[in-house]
Each structure stands twice: as structure tokens, then as C-alpha cells.
């Protein structure tokens, strides 16, 4: 009689060999320690499944819970960019991103948060939400803090809110745009921006005023500023007004506004950049492929998202982050929408 050979249970060495990694790396994945990339982690889990190595319960695919991501809209490309970058960081850490868009079929930010709390949300990341509106009450955030729900703010810091805050240095960014246009010989530079009750708008206006004074010796920024909506239509209407006043360079507070400004220039028979130079803000996806490719100020979305997620994870562990605002610098991306001022 033939005695069947015993079937050996797969070992860590077998998993490491199948995944093409070292045994210590397999151990790090099994124990949830840092030091293994998302791709490596997935390769180890796949090897375990292939070999029939039973996963520990915490690696069985069960989620740690939901993290709410609140953004103003999905029309301005910068907000989907933030949502995508944050989601990409949450998923490998076994959190489920729950995206809430304002306005969402008439659902307010407070209603969204209430729904998330009812579902046991673990934490929240607010991207330029109500906290960025200087007129909005901060009581909603005090209530969250009182319930012990960790949350992080992106763009629109309010000192009254007890939470980590990540922001782009909007003031310095617009100052950089003014400096760029002034270096090209533009003496009359206009600014198309959004309503002043939004904190990012205020900071951008401060940077515009400082830029005019330091680069051109002008101390009357309001004469060169048009306040409008953060939209293509808003950028169009603002540019029409600024062009009528003889501006040859226009700084816009968002990329979509800059696209509207380009449309306005062309509707008046002007060429971009030969007759008027236009600078956007954000470096949203596809801005390198517009006609002309847009000179713009790049928000470091990936770095800001990573800082926000790490701050939230720290709070989830029960540790307290610094409440000092963390500022990130924008890069000026020079493309085809700016050139020397017309003679």
C-alpha cells in the first residue's frame, strides 16, 4: 500500500519566493509595518492566495472604515485632482474614501457630515469647503471636535478651528505671477479673482497688491482687479472689463477663469500671447494641452494630499498634530499663454 505524502503547509520562504521579495518584507506585510510599497504589498498578498497561505484576519480585506472627503464641486478640475490624490492614499491603508460634492443635489455640507457620522465615519478631510468662507460659522467644526471626530482642512485656514490645516501659499503664488508678467515688460497687469469673503481669494488679492507695488511701483490694486465667479464665464466677463481698461497682462485666480479670459481676448480679435498674456492658477489636468498651453501656478496637489492624509492618520492614532498652518509653495509653469508685452 502506498502512503500518500504529507502536504506541507506553505512557509514564509515560499511566499517570499513566489512574490520575488525577501522574507523580512513578507513579515513586514503580515505585521502591517511600514517599509513595503503598495505594489510589493499586493504582490505578497497575491502570492499568499496562490499558495493557500491563510491571511491574518486584519489582511482579509476588511476595511478600517470610511474617511469623508468634502469638496466644493467637480467642475473645477483642481477639486477632482485633490479627491483622487487623497483617495489613492487612503485605499492602501484600508480606508474607504467617501466623496461628498457641494452642492450635491441640494445636500449641504452639514447634511453630508451628518450622514457620514450616522455611518460611523472615522475621519474627514475638507478641501476648500465651508471653512474657506470667511462668513461661514465655525461652530460646525467645534461640534465635530467635541464628538472626537478627527478632521483636516485643506486651503482656507481659520485660526478658530482646532484642526490641522494644509494650504497653498496663494499670496506668494500670485506675487510670482505678477513678477513674471512684469519681467516680460507688461506695465498694466490686471487680476481676475473670486469673491473676497473666500480666504484663498483674500490671500491671492494680497499677493497681487504686493506684486504691483514691489514690481511696478503701483499702489492701487483695486483699479486693476475685477471680482467675479470662479468659472469660465466669470473669467470671460472679468477679462472683457480688464481688456477695455488696456491691460496687456491678466492674472486669473483659477485655470478655468483663465480659459474664459482667453476666450474673451479672442472675441475682441486679440491674440494670446502676442497681444495679451494670461496666467492661470492650479495647473489643473490638461492645461498643458490647451490652445495656447496655459502658463499657470501649480498647486502641489500630491504633496498637499499626502500631508493631509498623514495628519489625519496621526489624529486617528490619538496623537495631536501641530495646529500651525502648513504652507506649500506653488511653481510657476511657463507655457505659451505669456510673452513679451506688445510694443
Task: Order the strands of the 165-168 sheet from edge to edge.
Answer: 95-101, 65-71, 123-127, 151-154, 165-168, 326-328
Residue 34 pLDDT > 70, yes or no? Answer: no
Q: What integer is the mean pLDDT of 38-52?
A: 82
pLDDT tens-digit readout, 58-75:
555 567 889 999 999 998
Domain architecture of the chain: domains with CATH: 12-59 (1.10.260.40), 65-168+300-328 (3.40.50.2300), 170-299 (3.40.50.2300)
- With both helix axes pointing from N to C terminus, report the angle between 12-19 and 23-31 in degrees, rounded to the nearest 10: 100
Q: Give the number of other Cβ atoms within 10 Å of residue 38's Cβ.
A: 12
pLDDT for position 234: 97
Q: How confident is the model at residue 8 (pLDDT cuts 50, 70, 90)?
A: low
DSSP secondary structure code for residue 198 in this structure: B
Kindly state the percentage of the chain with pLDDT values over 90.
74
Closest CA to 192 of 292, 111, 263: 263
Cα gap 158→141, rounded to integer Å: 11
Contacts of 48 (CB under 8 A, 6+ apart): 10, 15, 54, 55
Amino acid at each position: 500500500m502506498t502512503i500518500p505524502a504529507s502536504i506541507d503547509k506553505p512557509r514564509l520562504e515560499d511566499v517570499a519566493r513566489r512574490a520575488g521579495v525577501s522574507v523580512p518584507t513578507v513579515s513586514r506585510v503580515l505585521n502591517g509595518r511600514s517599509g513595503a510599497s503598495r505594489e510589493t504589498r499586493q504582490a505578497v498578498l497575491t502570492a499568499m492566495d496562490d499558495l493557500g497561505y491563510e491571511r491574518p484576519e486584519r489582511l482579509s480585506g476588511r476595511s478600517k472604515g470610511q474617511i469623508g472627503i468634502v469638496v466644493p464641486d467637480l467642475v473645477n478640475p483642481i477639486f477632482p485632482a485633490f479627491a483622487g490624490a487623497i483617495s489613492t492614499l487612503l485605499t492602501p491603508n484600508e480606508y474607504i474614501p467617501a466623496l461628498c460634492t457641494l452642492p450635491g443635489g441640494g445636500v449641504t455640507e452639514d447634511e453630508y457630515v451628518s450622514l457620514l457620522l450616522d455611518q460611523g465615519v472615522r475621519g474627514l478631510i475638507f478641501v476648500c469647503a465651508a471653512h474657506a468662507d470667511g462668513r461661514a460659522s465655525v461652530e460646525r467644526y467645534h461640534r465635530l471636535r467635541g464628538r472626537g471626530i478627527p478632521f483636516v482642512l485643506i486651503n482656507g485656514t481659520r485660526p478658530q478651528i482646532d484642526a490641522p490645516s494644509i494650504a497653498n501659499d496663494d499670496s506668494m503664488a500670485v506675487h510670482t505671477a505678477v513678477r513674471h508678467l512684469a519681467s516680460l515688460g507688461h506695465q498694466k497687469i490686471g487680476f481676475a479673482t473670486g469673491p473676497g469673503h473666500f480666504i484663498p481669494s483674500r490671500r491671492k488679492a494680497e499677493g497681487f497688491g504686493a506684486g504691483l507695488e514691489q514690481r511696478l511701483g503701483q499702489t492701487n490694486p483695486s483699479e486693476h482687479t475685477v471680482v467675479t465667479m470662479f468659472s469660465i464665464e466669470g473669467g470671460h466677463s472679468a477679462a472683457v472689463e480688464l481688456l477695455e481698461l488696456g491691460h496687456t497682462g491678466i492674472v486669473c485666480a483659477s485655470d478655468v477663469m483663465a480659459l474664459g479670459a482667453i476666450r474673451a481676448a479672442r472675441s475682441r480679435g486679440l491674440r494670446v500671447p502676442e497681444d495679451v498674456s494670461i496666467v492661470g492658477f492650479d495647473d489643473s489636468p490638461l492645461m498643458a494641452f490647451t490652445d495656447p498651453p496655459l502658463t499657470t501656478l501649480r498647486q502641489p496637489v500630491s504633496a498637499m494630499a499626502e500631508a493631509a492624509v498623514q495628519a489625519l492618520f496621526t489624529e486617528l492614532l490619538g496623537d495631536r498634530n501641530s495646529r500651525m498652518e502648513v504652507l506649500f509653495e506653488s511653481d510657476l509653469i511657463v507655457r505659451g499663454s505669456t510673452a513679451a508685452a506688445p510694443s
